[in-house]
Amino acid sequence: MKELIRKLSELRGISGSEYRISDEIINQFKAVSDEVYKDNLGNVIAVKKCKKGNAPRIMIEAHMDEIGLMVRDIDENGFIGFVNIGGVDGRILPGGEVIIHGLRDVKGVIGAKPPHLQTADEAKTALKMSDMVIDTGLTSEQIREIVSVGDTITVKGDFRELLSDNVTGKSLDDRAGIAALIKTFEMISGKELNADIYAVAAVCEEVGGRGAAVAGYSIKPDIAIAIDVTHGVTPDNSKNGFELGSGVAIAKGPNLHPLVVDRLLGIAKEKDIKYTIEVEGGDTGTDAWILQVVDEGIPTALLSIPLRYMHTTVETLNIKDAEAISKLLAEFCLRIDDNMEEWLCF
């Protein structure tokens, strides 16, 4: 799981540019799927067929896009101005490294006015994104040959192993979710299924769940389970979070179908899979929120991996929590039986 998360975390594709990484994700799914295809929006859909007539369809889903930046302008000295795609906190950028995806990849550093040229007030205020530039060391002429306005930019955030099975990297939100899907398929391979299982690596979650909406419509699953990350506990966030290593966060609330949730909880208890319960009063801020109201509606659940420092270059999570998700998902898929319609009825 660790190596898979590392590999997926190091891929570079912001919302709208998932085509840069979808081949690799297709490759990862191929070995464990009956069929893998890409839809019109770029969602990668992997299928495991049960080869039974009128079988129920279960969709398990995570998003493959990452937040990032886009080239806004190039000045006469070659410095690159940029805008954000998705929820980027500008405060994480100064002193950071990026890769600009032009005709070829170009490395850069995000600079800002040097401290000794700042006024005392300036030093106390976070820099605005519009006051930052990317420095590639290339001249304006050189950079314009490679990079154009509108090219995408990803932040650098090398993967590192920390203590206690914790790892840190960029885009663990939600590549760790994709890894959990691949591992789930691995776990159910060769086992008898009573449902067709669709694993979706969705595009454009970070800009509003667009990929999930389209995939949900075309697959029309009987049940959809979204896999995402949720906030981890840190010294500056002790109340709104989950401890790393505490297992799967199983969401409850109006966004989630209570009977699907009950079933997941029952399996977790029975199989001794570590879990906690996450309560959301409305929008969960994930693809689950979108999937619930696709077409005529889908019974939806949400499983999350606790993650510290969400939307930074140092996102941190525990490998065991991702593994717990795969175990729970695999067991859930294997247990779909002829009674599903019954237990799914209110």
Partner 1 sequence: MFLKKLCEFDCVSGNEKAVRDYIRNEIYQYADEIVIDSIGNLIVKRTGVSSKKTVMLDAHTDEVGFIISGITDKGFLEFKTVGGIDTRVIISKRVRVGKNKIPGVIGIKAIHLLEKSERNEVPKIKSLYIDIGASSKEEAEKYVELGDYAAFDTEYEDLTDDLIKAKAIDDRAGCAILMELIKEKPKYDTYFCFSAQEEVGLRGAKIAVNRIKPDIALAIEATTSSDVAPSEEKDYVIRLGNGAAVSFADGATIASEEFYKKLLSVAEEEGIKAQTKAAITGGNDAGAIHLAQGGIKCATISVPCRYIHSPAGIASKADIDSVKQLAGAFLRRIDEFY
Give the Cα separation of 315 and 336 in Å (integer): 34
Q: Are 99 and 77 in contact (CB under 8 A)?
A: no
Look at residues 35, 63, 60, 51 and name the one whose alpha carbon lies nearest to residue 331: 60
CB of 127 vs partner 1, minimal distance in Å:
6
Give 73 or 270: the residue with its C-beta nearer to partner 1: 73
The catalytic position among 186, 205, 280, 331 is 205
CB of 113 to partner 1, least distance (A): 4
Q: Which is nearer to partner 1, 27 or 77 (CB)?
A: 77
Q: Residue 39 or residue 89: which is nearer to partner 1 going by CB?
A: 89
Per the annotation, the verdict on 205 as an active-site residue is yes
User: 17: exposed, middle or buried (C-beta count within 10 Å: 0-12, 13-18, 19+)?
Assistant: buried
* Beta bridge partner(s), residue 97: 109
CB of 238 to partner 1, least distance (A): 9
Work out the angle at residue 86's Cα, subtended by the Cα atoms of residues 317 and 143, and round it to the nearest 5 degrees: 105
Would you say 33 or 246 has its CB closer to partner 1?
Answer: 246
Rounded to whole angstroms, the Cα distance separating 117 from 57 reads 61
Minimum CB–partner distance for residue 164 and partner 1 (Å): 4
Binding stretches for partner 1 (CB under 8 A): 75, 77, 79, 81, 87-89, 91-92, 94-97, 107-109, 111-117, 123-127, 131-133, 135-138, 157-158, 160-168, 231, 233-237, 240, 244-245, 285, 308-314, 316
CB 198 within 8 A of CB 219: yes
Query: Residue 91 phi/psi, 5° resolution?
Result: -70, -15
Catalytic residue annotation: 205
